[in-house]
A and B are shown apart, each in its own frame.
Chain A
């Protein structure tokens, strides 16, 4: 794990990269990283996240700035900009049931090819997917998802990169931290090693590549 300046961290992310971003309606989204992506004028990103938040909040800022070519999400209903760009053909939107989305990411981070879920059987979600029966019950094969980068928001990070999350800001964060080639963490608090007790560590240090320094 290395500490890194905000501008240097975001400079690692090229146009066209796939990026998983933590957060649920903006709660638990690393806002400094999002703001810097906008400031550096990134283009053609594929953003994998629960939702598109609202205009002016979290991932909503990336949508408004035109940084995103494709989004894979479970819900976009509260961001009219996403809807508008989608209908205008400027933004590709792949809607995935929330439980299937998080499991596809989990599978990607856990070395699995995918998961079998009953969710979506017999609906439009089934289109193009394999239906597999196990002990007489039908399931859909949902394949795994990985990304080039994971942008993670944590409540506590210690000096070597162990992470702890707060309340409902946990959501997608510990799961995406496992599923990307490069993991960049924006922590609300950076604390000495030992402040997060071993039993309290949610994401172990070795999976974290970079922690944003406060400067």
Chain B
């Protein structure tokens, strides 16, 4: 199983029936492929859609029905569309049960940086700041390291997305939560040791007494 699949499959286990969920671009998008059987989830696209479905057959797409990246999607039975004020009212107003986002860095207390690298990459925050501020649960989906460098760090050197810490970080090596503002290892991926996770992490990592192996 490749890193992205491990991450997406593990995060999909956090989905519960009836949830309203927003998935960011990249690895987070893959989560929708692993929704557990019997669980029905509403996926929101922040451009104004609840009930995002797989794109229709080639040549059948509607140019005015797209995801937040502007790519054609389908709409499931029961879908709804709305303007951007409503879309972010859903996000900030406590109606969004979960968001899954990518990350550049996460610090030891769970603060996320995912929207810019000063002087290098300034794409804009889009909806990320509202999502982290407003969603009931924020889950980060990311590879544990980038070009060999740890992405979980003592303190983010990049600009933060929000002062609100995330709830869970899932990587191809580990599941980490932040109770009492401290990075805590809850699970390791199959075949991965606590030592290997520590090696790839540049922050103090408390190990839960009940640390277990990711069930995939």
Contact = CB atoms under 8 A, between A and B. Distances in A.
Interface string A70-86: 00011111100001001
A98 B87 CA distance: 10
Given A98-B84, A99-B130, A119-B129, A167 B49 contact: yes
A97 B134 contact: no
A27 B134 contact: no
Contacts of B82: 170
Contacts of A124: 159-160
A74 B162 contact: no
Interface in B36-64: 45-49, 62-64
B55 to A, nearest CB: 13
B18 interface: no
Contact of B124 (A73, A102, A118, A121): A73
Interface in A1-60: 24-28, 50-51, 53-54
Nearest to A97: B129
A86 B123 CA distance: 11
Contacts of A28: 64
Contacts of B91: 99
B122 A83 contact: yes
Contacts of B81: 167-168, 170
B13 interface: no
Contact of B83 (A118, A125, A173): A173
Contact of B133 (A83, A106, A118, A167): A118
A159 interface: no
B188 interface: no
Given A24-B48, A102-B85, A106-B85, A123 B124 contact: no
Nearest to A100: B130
B68 interface: yes
Nearest to B46: A98
A48 to B, nearest CB: 13
A65 interface: no
B148 interface: no
B124 A169 contact: no
A27 B68 CA distance: 10
Interface of A: 24-28, 50-51, 53-54, 73-78, 83, 86, 93, 95, 97-100, 102-103, 106, 117-125, 155, 165-175, 202
Given A74-B125, A97-B129, 5 more contacts: A74-B127, A75-B123, A98-B130, A99-B88, A120-B129
17 contacts: A24-B66, A25-B47, A25-B66, A25-B69, A75-B124, A75-B126, A77-B123, A97-B125, A97-B130, A99-B91, A117-B92, A118-B92, A118-B133, A122-B163, A125-B129, A167-B49, A170-B81
The 9 closest A-B pairs by CB, nearest first: A77-B123, A122-B163, A25-B70, A99-B88, A99-B130, A169-B64, A75-B126, A75-B124, A97-B129
